[in-house]
Amino acid sequence: MNILIISAAIFTLTSLYFFLNRNKFGSDFPWLVSFITVISYLVMIMNINIGPDPTALLWTRWVGYAMSCTLLTASMVKIFGITAQQKVVALVSTSLIMLTGVLAAVATSPLFLILFFALGMIPFISLISIFKSKSTPQNRFVLNYLYYGWMAFPVIFLLSPETFSVIPSLTLILSAYLIADFFTKIIFYVHIQKIK
Mean pLDDT of all residues in 107-120: 96
- The rounded distance, in Å, linking the Cα atoms of 107 and 113 is 5
pTM of the model: 0.94
Side chain identity, residue 133: S
Range of the domain at 187: 2-195
Domain CATH code at residue 78: 1.20.1070.10
Q: Rounded to the nearest 10 degrees, how much is the dihedral formed by the CA atoms of 98, 40, 154, 77?
A: 50
Residue 67's H or E segment, with its range, is helix 60-80
Number of domains forming the structure of the chain: 1
Does the pLDDT of residue 50 top 80, yes or no? no
pLDDT above 70 covers what percent of the chain?
A: 98
pLDDT score recorded for residue 5 = 96
Contact by Cβ (8 Å): 64, 177: no
pLDDT tens, residue by residue, 143-189: 889 989 999 999 999 999 989 999 999 999 999 999 999 999 999 99
Cα 19 from Cα 33, distance rounded (Å)? 11
CA distances from residue 186 to 52, 72, 112, 177 in whole angstroms, order as listed: 33, 11, 33, 13
What is the sign, positive or negative, of the torsion defined by CA atoms of 134, 34, 193, 149? negative
